[in-house]
Amino acid sequence: MFKRSSGVLAHVTSLPSPHGVGTMGKAAYDFVDFLSAARQTYWQVLPLGHTGFGDSPYQCFSAAAGNPYLIDLDLLVEDGLLTVAEVRAGDFEASPDETDFEQLADTRWPLFRKAYRRVDDTLRTRIAAFREKNAAWLPDYALFMALKEEKYHNMPVYLWPDKAVRDRKPAALEKAAAELRDEIDFRIFLQYVFFQQWDALHAYANEKGIQIIGDIPIYVSADSSDVWTHPTLFKLKADRSPKLVAGVPPDYYSATGQLWGNPVYDWDVHRAENYAWWVWRMKSNMALFDVVRLDHFRGFAAYWEVKAGSENAIKGHWRKGPGMELLRAIEQALGPVRLIAEDLGVQTDEVRELLTESGLPGMKVLIFGFTPDEDNEHLPHNFVPNSIVYTSTHDSQTVCEQIMDICTEPEKQFAYRYLRTSHSEAMGWSAIKSVWASPARIAMTPLQDLLSLGADAHMNTPGTIGGKNWRWRVRREALNPTVSSLLAEITQTYMRG
């Protein structure tokens, strides 16, 4: 299913832009051109969802809706929905190195509302068709956001004071929809624009020979339209707040584990419905991407369940996941789909058996291999062909940071020897060569390693909220022909492009 190939991981928000955050505009098309010149096959992105508290793409208000911040303002100008003067007036002194989400929240929405007011009859007809096509989720999402942000002042759904609305009583929903009709239409307009811009970018990438790898978080946010609309699919209290939440026990990333706070699934209900919600979710994502990474794959074998309100994830319990039954239901409904299993973290025979039975490629990460242990599965000489391998990940240290700041002296010296690092070559390039030379069918590098960046280029620190998380951006001048030519040479040398 996967040929010998390679690619680069970079979230859309990390791309250059004059407007404070990477978007689906010119810089994204330029990045596709950069990847094409570098003879890459894949561009991997993080989830594209409408982010909530903490700006994490893994905590979204909907499993289907797109992030309005990714909408490109210059494309709205081209469409006649904004003027150049309006965009300039709405700009702020943005750093080229990081996204200021607080400033975005203050400046983007007034511009979006101006664009919405200019919708004409022709566009209104197209939006109506888009709404009808996405009737399974779009009206509920739009009503949820209108209620949450306009009526309930951003309170999470389980704290909404109107019990009839919270419990989705038909009369209450009908009344709310009538009261908030314009707000609902505004939210639907934003989703129409998002999907129009994304579909055009995706098509351009495919024309250039670039396939896009997307990412499905295994869980959804407790404060989401999905939980509000489908409460029986999750383990919730009567007020729709989580009874039990997801996370992982203590591991490489954290001594107290990771407490994500997402409600866990009631897999018995999903099974009784033949996993219809998951089939819908997968179908939606396969329309957006060419390949989909299943985040936290080990949760499909067994998942860590913690009582809501716990201080950390230490005191939890393993529960059995849906396993192959879910994957078979998806394939039966949709046919063969191209999936990747994110199987990092605690490994058990149960997880390994599920990965083997599914036939999906699992993940390996070079920086986890810098211990002088010949059996370490994260060292390139131990990579199996059916795998997708990375120099580092969006959740980890970069290669340079790991070697220079984290490794012990013996580990550092081992890394130098293994990667054959020299003073004449950037450390990230040595790592890329080692991974590209491996037998794994797919080799990937985050953009940070391609540029040999260190700790200041972190995308995310697991187990933390806010701070510098999700803010990193690349400078336009870094994506230059010298870099693309070097990557193209390595890719050709190791026969990946």
Catalytic annotation, residues = 295, 342, 395
Residue 6 β-bridge partners: 443
- Tell me, letter by letter, the H, E, C secondary structure of 63-109: CCCECHHHCCHHHHHHCCCCCHHHHHHHCCCCCCCECCHHHHHHHHH
Token readout for 486 is 């070097």
> Angle at the Cα of 339 (from 135 to 220), degrees rounded to 5?
50
User: 3-class DSSP state for residue 293?
Assistant: strand
User: 3-class DSSP state for residue 252?
Assistant: coil
Query: What is the C-alpha to C-alpha distance for residues 452 and 430, in angstroms, rounded to an integer?
Result: 10
Q: At what angle do helices 276-288 and 324-334 cross, to 10 degrees?
A: 60
The helix (H) or strand (E) run that includes residue 444 is strand 442-446
Q: Which residue has the tokens 């068709």?
A: 129
Residues 6+ apart with CB under 8 A from 479: 16, 30, 31, 34
Token readout for 6 is 């390679």
Residue 116 burial by Cβ neighbours in a 10 Å radius (0-12, 13-18, 19+): middle
CA-nearest of 294, 72, 113, 82 to 198 is 72
Alpha carbon distance, N-terminus to C-terminus of the chain: 16
Query: What is the C-alpha to C-alpha distance for residues 471 and 461, in angstroms, rounded to an integer?
Result: 11
Token readout for 306 is 């913690």
Query: What is the C-alpha to C-alpha distance for residues 469 and 174, in angstroms, rounded to an integer?
Result: 39
CA-nearest of 175, 177, 202 to 188 is 177
Query: What is the C-alpha to C-alpha distance for residues 399 and 305, in angstroms, rounded to an integer?
Result: 32
**Contact call for residues 370 and 411 (beta carbons, < 8 A):** yes
User: 3-class DSSP state for residue 55?
Assistant: helix
Amino acid, single-letter form, for residue 28: A
Q: Name the percent of the chain in helix, strand, coil, to the closest 5.
A: 45, 15, 40
**Inter-CA distances, 165 with 63, 147, 220, 262, 430, Å:** 21, 9, 21, 22, 57
